[in-house]
Chains A and B, each alone.
Chain A
Amino acid sequence: MTALRESLGKSGWAVRLAAGLAAFILFAVPALVLVATSWTEQRFALFPPKGFTLEWFGEVLTSKKWLQPFGRSATVAAIGTALAVILGVAAAIGVSRLRSSRAARAWRTVMILPLAVPPIALGVGLYNMGRWLNLSDGRMALLILGQMISALPFVFVLVAGAITRLDPNLHKAAQTLGANSWLIIRKVELPLLGPTILAAAVFAFVVIFDEVVLAVFLLPPGVETLPVTMLRASQETMTPALTAASTVVSLLAVLLLGGSQMVGRGKKGGADAP
């Protein structure tokens, strides 16, 4: 915003320089160091890397030790994401239908509440639930439930935000033309919310894929998701294979999330064009 830029006057450049430094030190440096150690020829991940080899990437992408937990994480995240999206989108539309603003406010408070519950406490609760219900095989279901809950606030906030930006006249017009509520949801709201729902789904997938605290508590011994494998490996030694695995997962997340944002932008741009 130009007015904001002018209002900062001569101190503006100092503020921007400081922010650039903060971005470099807090965000870029740790990531660059991590990626660099994944091509070292040494057996320990240490900066600066010595030599250059793709051996560790090869190991991560071919060994069962990494691929099996990766597959498990992907499956668990896919199920959790599907649930979080269905429930989150339904809740966002449902809350937009509430006439009483007090009820809508209360719902918003409750939908964001899971962010305030410490993951470890949720893990202890779900773990005890599993023991009391004597669910030895059902632990996986509890894990999916808990991880779905941890992604739910993000889906809700994103979709509810997009709903408030929809043109309210569309709803009225469809109603006047005799469309019932379900038809309005299916033919008017869901198509317009599509890009947001896609972005929310990808975000939820990444949140669930990366979740580690609940997984540590609820997975039976010997069964690991990728973050659990990585956490255990990090507590032994930092190996280049571990940093290579970290690099691969981060790259996938950035591609997925960046891609979904591009799709959203592209669609929105198309809709705005006259």
Chain B
Amino acid sequence: MAGADKGVVAKAQAGRGTVEKGVLLLPVAVALVAGVLVPLVVIVVASLQDGGGAYRETFSSSLFRAALGRTWWMAVIITLGDVLIGTFYALAAASARRGLQALLLGALMFSMWTSVMVRSFGWMLLELPKGALYWLAHTFFGRSEPIELYQTVGGMYPAMFAMMLPFIVLPVLAATRNVDADQLKAARTFGASTWLTLRTVTLPAIRPAIVSAGVLVFVMSLGFYVTPLLLGGPSNLTVSGVINLEMRSANRPDLGASMSVILTTATVVVYLVSDRFFRVSEKWG
């Protein structure tokens, strides 16, 4: 009888649990459908309104093709560069004494807390033809020609490296806690070189964090808008910039939609595939 009671209680609890889960998860499900799924379906429908003509036009547009290549390479280079800088930055912060650690993390957090646009303004003031870099070069190296960096492809890169760096450093720093101190000591005792220890003990422990952080940085770089717009200028648009142009100046919402579909497909597929293989969403955060 006690067993039967238990069964009833368990069932009642399970029933209540389902209601509870429903109440907790249904609102967010509705919000995600209304705020992500529906808008994405809407752009797919908008892009197909003339039977695929928008896609043909998109792919034959040299403006779009140039932007696609520029965006792709920017995302690849920013990701690889930041994975390299960010891993060492995290190792430095993890191995530093308290003062330097506070400095490294403080600079990173302050920067991350400031808006992307404001940070881009900072880079603009550095890169303007007669900006801070010119002042530096003029004062110390006697340069008198203006700096040609603002509104060039090269002008986007330093700022993009800085914007994305925290997204590598923070997850990798959190993962350095998984590095086994005993293994590190053992490696030292047996005389393994710094490089060998790094490769065989430290790196395997932080690799999942590096991969998932890298995937997110890659995906976010593909869709980045403000920094490339402000620093790359109108002749070096990324895909987001071209979409903005089609929507707002060229008055071609169909092309804006088809380009948005292409860009979103790329980012979402990269995210979902790497999530499947590397469990990005579990390692992140």
Q: By the criterion CB–CB under 8 Å, are A33 and B122 in contact?
A: yes
Query: Given A91-B25, A122-B36, are A253 and B115 neighbors across the interface (CB < 8 Å)?
Result: yes
Q: By the criterion CB–CB under 8 Å, are B282 and A105 in contact?
A: yes
Q: Which of B39, B91, B243, B279 contacts A4 (CB 8 A)?
A: B91
Q: Who on chain B is nearest to A5 by CB?
A: B95
Q: Who on chain B is nearest to A160 by CB?
A: B285
A78 — which chain B residues lie within 8 A by C-beta?
Answer: none
B279 CB to nearest chain A CB (Å): 8
A254 — which chain B residues lie within 8 A by C-beta?
Answer: 110, 113-114
Q: By the criterion CB–CB under 8 Å, are A27 and B176 in contact?
A: no
Q: By the criterion CB–CB under 8 Å, are A257 and B113 in contact?
A: yes
Q: By the criterion CB–CB under 8 Å, are A181 and B20 in contact?
A: yes
A123-159 to B contact mask, C-beta < 8 Å, 1/0: 0111111001000000000000110110010000110
A45 — which chain B residues lie within 8 A by C-beta?
Answer: 125
A193 CB to nearest chain B CB (Å): 14
Determine if B132 is an interface residue (Cβ-Cβ < 8 Å).
Answer: yes
Within 8 A of B (CB), among A231-250: 231, 234, 238, 242-243, 246, 249-250
Q: By the criterion CB–CB under 8 Å, are B281 and A31 in contact?
A: no
Determine if A166 is an interface residue (Cβ-Cβ < 8 Å).
Answer: no
A115 — which chain B residues lie within 8 A by C-beta?
Answer: 216, 219-220, 271
A188-213 to B contact mask, C-beta < 8 Å, 1/0: 00000000000000000010011011
Query: Given A4-B179, A90-B28, are A217 and B247 neighbors across the interface (CB < 8 Å)?
Result: yes
Determine if A12 is an interface residue (Cβ-Cβ < 8 Å).
Answer: yes
Give the distance in Å from the alpha carbon of A12 to the alpha carbon of B184 in the complex. Answer: 14
Q: By the criterion CB–CB under 8 Å, are A29 and B32 in contact?
A: no
Within 8 A of A (CB), among B95-111: 95-96, 100, 103-104, 107-111
The tally of CB-CB contacts under 8 A between chains A and B is 315
Q: Who on chain B is nearest to A99 by CB?
A: B17
Query: Given A1-B176, A8-B91, A129-B42, are A120 and B158 neighbors across the interface (CB < 8 Å)?
Result: no
Give the distance in Å from the alpha carbon of A88 to the alpha carbon of B24 in the complex. Answer: 10
B246 CB to nearest chain A CB (Å): 9
Q: Identify the interface centre among A11, A209, A238, A250: most chain B CB within 10 Å of its CB.
A: A250
Q: By the criterion CB–CB under 8 Å, are B281 and A109 in contact?
A: yes
Query: Given A34-B118, A90-B25, are A23 and B103 neighbors across the interface (CB < 8 Å)?
Result: yes
Query: Given A7-B197, A109-B281, A125-B40, are A149 and B115 neighbors across the interface (CB < 8 Å)?
Result: no
Determine if B93 is an interface residue (Cβ-Cβ < 8 Å).
Answer: yes
B128 — which chain A residues lie within 8 A by C-beta?
Answer: 46, 238
Query: Given A15-B91, A20-B100, A105-B282, are A234 and B124 neighbors across the interface (CB < 8 Å)?
Result: yes
Q: By the criterion CB–CB under 8 Å, are B257 and A124 in contact?
A: yes
Within 8 A of A (CB), among B224-264: 225-226, 230, 240, 243-244, 247, 253, 256-257, 260-261, 263-264
Give the distance in Å from the alpha carbon of A243 to the alpha carbon of B85 in the complex. Answer: 29
A140 CB to nearest chain B CB (Å): 14
A246 — which chain B residues lie within 8 A by C-beta?
Answer: 117-118, 121
Give the distance in Å from the alpha carbon of A111 to the alpha carbon of B271 in the complex. Answer: 12
Q: By the criterion CB–CB under 8 Å, are B188 and A87 in contact?
A: no
Give the distance in Å from the alpha carbon of A95 to the alpha carbon of B28 in the complex. Answer: 11
Give the distance in Å from the alpha carbon of A221 to the alpha carbon of B260 in the complex. Answer: 23
Q: Who on chain B is nearest to A35 by CB?
A: B122
Q: Which of B16, B88, B260 contacts A124 (CB 8 A)?
A: B260
Closest 6 pairs (CB-CB, A-B): A125-B39, A118-B223, A30-B122, A94-B24, A157-B285, A19-B92
Known: A1-B177, A23-B108, A33-B125. 10 other contacts (CB 8 A): A1-B95, A18-B92, A19-B104, A26-B111, A47-B132, A97-B20, A116-B270, A121-B40, A227-B117, A249-B118
6 chain-A/chain-B pairs, Cβ below 8 angstroms: A22-B89, A27-B107, A33-B126, A34-B125, A149-B36, A152-B32
